[in-house]
Amino acid sequence: MARPYKNSSDHPELIAFGSAVRSIRLDKGLSQEALADLAGIDRSYMGGVERGEHNIALINIKRIANALEASVSDVMKKSGL
């Protein structure tokens, strides 16, 4: 499994993506655990994604977007990327 970045502030795009995922998740009334289950991703990894600690792979971005019933482009637009 990928290791978290020691200093997420060096990668603002990861923080922006994680914030977008968190925002959409909360808008949909999902817990972090429920989203992780729907996406087939470990809950602790999902927490790291939301905190901008992981340089997430495209396949996991797609899994998260699908679980949020959103397109990858919608999640990216929400993050400002």
Residue 2 resides in a domain: no
Instruction: Report the number of distinct structural domains present in the chain.
Output: 1
Residue 53 resides in a domain: yes
Which range marks the domain in which residue 70 is found?
A: 10-79
Query: If you write DSSP's letter for every residue of the chain in order, what string do you get?
Result: -PPPPS-GGG-HHHHHHHHHHHHHHHHTT--HHHHHHHHT--HHHHHHHHTT-S---HHHHHHHHHHTT--HHHHHHHHT-
- CATH code (residue 53): 1.10.260.40
Q: What percent of the chain has pLDDT over 90?
A: 85
- pTM for the whole thing? 0.86
Q: Give the three-state DSSP class for 2.
A: coil
pLDDT in tens, 13-26: 999 999 999 999 99
